[in-house]
Structure 1
Amino acid sequence: MMYVWHEPVWQQLVQSQRQQRFHHAQLLHGLAGVGKQALAIELAQALLCEHHQQLVRCGECKSCTLFEANTHPDLLMITSQGQSISVDAIRELASFVHHSAQQGGNKVAVIVNAHKMTHSAANALLKTLEEPNVGRYLLLTCDDISQLSATILSRCAKVQVAVGDKRLASEWLVAQLPQEISYPWLADFSQQPLIVQQWYLNEQLAHIDTLYKFACDIKASHNFASAQKILSDYPDLVNILCLFIQKQLKAKLINGLALQAYNEAQNALYQFMSDNTQVLGLNQPLALSKLVNTLKSTFK
């Protein structure tokens, strides 16, 4: 499935194939929530189609039928198990690409969130990237290419996936949400529409709005208990709270907050983010309280 904002990227891929410049390893990178995995799957189906023309699948051949049924033997999907992609998964990929295609055509492997590969897994992948076989394609997705090694980057065609036309994405998102849903912070995520859609499906929009209100009036901290419970129930929303706080800090800097006070607040925020990511068994209420107290003293 492709989204309306994918069209420019797709045309770029089509042109590279038409000009016989289509690389065997495609790295689709960009912000979370832009549909990189969906684009990779669409590309995989086109490459596996027996009759595709300029990456347009026919939808009727045996290969397309197998793909739609999620039983295509020449497609390998690799995703993280827990927080990482193991070296064993990449070794399986190496074996996969070196065996003959059961359908007699191409073989495609998709690595979702390639930045989650362990160091050993990344090293194992290099061997496969260095020795490409005809008719074998690797499609990688990545939120942050700075987390991939320079050697892997140099062996892939890097394709940035982004929302170029915010209007198209906004119109698409409006069609996904009930009309009564309207939050002032939605515009902050106009370049990540699928994240907002997932929040809606997970019934998290009200929680995020609570975090937004907490960040906007952190000096009063009326919603401290509610914010803490939300972060406890949904740890992945810590970064969203930090984003809202950071936006408030920038606004206060523009409105006259002293640079030293701004830097102190930023350091406290970075420490809070780091602790939530790295400290096992973190006393989160205490960590949040410490951050709030630092910000309150900053905003005097």
Structure 2
Amino acid sequence: MIYPWLGASHQMLADASQNKKLHHALLLQGVQGIGKQTMAVHLAGALLCPNQQNLTACGQCKSCHLLAAQSHPDYLVLGHEQKTIGVDEVRKIADFCQTSAGQRGAKVVVVNDADLMTTAAANALLKTLEEPANNRFLILVSAQAERLPATVLSRCSQVTLSVDDAQLVEQWMAETDSKIDWQSWQHLFLHQPLLLLKWQQNEDHTILTNLYELVQQLKNGISAQLLVDILQQKSEYSSVFYIFVCDYVKQALLKQQLDFKAYQICLQHLLNFQQAVKQVLGLNFPLAVSDLVFALQQQLKR
């Protein structure tokens, strides 16, 4: 299945395949929740299927059945649960590509979270990228492609997946079995539709609505402890909080409730907080939140 907002990217690859110009190494990059892994599986199935049409597998042949059963001998997947990918794992790719295809067709490797490869692993991948065997395809998937070495990036055909038409997302969500309970903040994440769907299914949306409404009271003064109680429930909430506050200060700037210098100061405080959350071991989180709230309020009340 190809999500509607990815149709143009898929068609571009299908045209390249039709013209025998599909690169042997594809890098699917884009934000979390855009559908990169689904696209990778779709492409792998098409490349393995002898009856594919427009780079879409038939779904009926032996190859398609093997892939659906997760037992296809010519399909290798690396990277899972956002764990570091080491050199030993990457060396499996070279061995896999050098052996004959069990179904006498293509062989496909998908590397999820490719940016988590160690330096040694990325270096080990270079030989496969530089000297591709015939009818062998490598699909790298990454939400942070900038972390990949330039030597890897330069040897891949980079495909950036994104949402160009928000209406396609809204229409798709209206048709899903798990219909989205639209909230006032969800327009901020239309470029990450699968993330919105995950929050709906995991019942995060009510908590996030509470967080959003709390942020809207920043100027009037809010309890830092209330923020801490929400943010400590899940690590991903801190990133959502960052986006909520960025939007809040942006709107304050547009409404001329905040001058540009104060706006820049607010963004710097936010950036410092985000970096501390990600990088500082043993961070006193309640204190960091309290300091951020105080610093923002000082600017918003000017």
By the TM > 0.5 criterion, same fold?
yes
Decide whether aligned partners of structure 1 residues 162 and 260 sit closer, same or farther in structure 2, where only a CA change above 3 A counts: closer
What code does the residue aligned with 1:18 have? Q
The aligned residue for residue 227 of structure 1 is: 227
Contact 2:173 2:180 in 1 (8 A): no
Q: Distance in 2 between matches of 1:234 and 1:140?
A: 28
1:58 counterpart = 2:58? yes
Q: Report the equivalent of 1:86.
A: 86
Whole-angstrom CA distance in 2 between matches of 1:152 and 1:261: 40
State the match for 2:274 in structure 1. Answer: 273
1:63-105 deviation digits (Å, cap 9, x = unpaired): 1110111111111111145542222221122221122212221
Deviation at 1:14, TM superposition (A): 1.1
- 1:18 counterpart residue number: 18
Question: What are structure 2's unaligned runs of at least 5 residues?
Answer: none
Structure 1 residue 259: Cα displacement: 3.0
Aligned 1:1-300 pairs, distance under 5 A: 1-80=1-80, 82-176=82-176, 181-222=181-222, 224-254=224-254, 255-300=256-301
Distance 1:139 1:247 in 2: 35
1:221: Cα distance to partner?
4.7
What is the TM-score with the length of structure 2 in the denominator?
A: 0.93
Q: Bigger CA drift: 209-218 or 34-43?
A: 209-218
CA deviation after TM superposition for structure 1 residue 146, in Å: 2.0
Whether contact under 8 Å (2:42, 2:56) holds in the other structure is no
> Which deviates more, 21-30 or 159-168?
159-168
User: Amino acid of the residue matched to residue 39 of structure 1?
Assistant: M
| Partners of 1:177 and 1:200 within 8 A in 2 | no
Measured in 1, the distance between the counterparts of 2:88 and 2:230 equals: 36
Q: Tell me the amino acid that sits aligned with residue 212 of structure 1.
A: Y
Following TM superposition, the consecutive aligned residue runs of length 4 or more in structure 1 with deviations greater than 6 angstroms are 177-180
Which amino acid letter does the alignment assign opposite residue 247 of structure 1?
D
> Could you tell me which amino acid in structure 2 is paired with residue 161 of structure 1?
L
2: CA distance between counterparts of 1:140 and 1:158? 9
CA contact (8 A) 1:214 1:224 kept: no
The answer to whether the Cα contact below 8 Å between 2:108 and 2:139 also exists between their aligned partners in 1 is yes
> For each residue in 1:31-78, what CA deviation from the matched residue of structure 2 results, as whole angstroms up to 9, or x when unmatched?
221101101101101111122234232222211110111111111111
| CA deviation after TM superposition for structure 1 residue 164, in Å | 2.1
Q: Secondary structure at the match of 1:233?
A: coil
Report the CA distance shift for 1:24/1:218 in structure 2 as closer, same or farther (over 3 A).
same
Q: What CA distance in whole angstroms lies between the structure 2 residues aligned with 1:49 and 1:82?
A: 29
Residue pair 1:34, 1:192 contacting (<8 A) in 2 also: yes
Greater mean deviation of Cα atoms: 63-72 or 177-186 = 177-186
User: Does 48-57 or 27-36 show the bigger shift?
Assistant: 48-57
TM-superposed CA distance for 1:27, in Å, is: 1.1
- 3-state SS of 1:162 partner: coil
Q: Are the counterparts in 2 of residues 210 and 227 from structure 1 also a CA contact under 8 Å?
A: no
RMSD: 1.8
User: Would the aligned equivalents of 1:32 and 1:195 in 2 still touch at CA under 8 Å?
Assistant: yes
Q: 1:140 aligns to what SS in structure 2? A: strand
User: What SS class does the counterpart of residue 218 from structure 2 fall into?
Assistant: coil
The one-letter code matched in structure 2 to 1:228 is V
CA offset digits 1:210-246 (Å, max 9, x no partner): 2211221123454543431222120112111011111
1:163 partner amino acid: V
- State the alpha-carbon separation in 2 of the partners of residues 155 and 114 from structure 1: 14
Aligned sequence identity (%): 38
- Kindly indicate whether the alpha-carbon contact (under 8 Å) linking 1:219 and 1:292 is maintained by their aligned counterparts in 2: no
Distance in 2 (alpha carbons) for counterparts of 1:226 and 1:204 = 17
Q: Bigger CA drift: 71-80 or 83-92?
A: 83-92
SS of corresponding position for 1:287: helix
**CA shift for structure 1 position 287:** 0.6
The alpha carbon displacement at 1:177 in A equals: 7.0
Structure 1 residues 98, 81: closer, same or farther in 2, change over 3 A?
Answer: farther
Inter-partner Cα distance in structure 1 for 2:152 and 2:44: 20
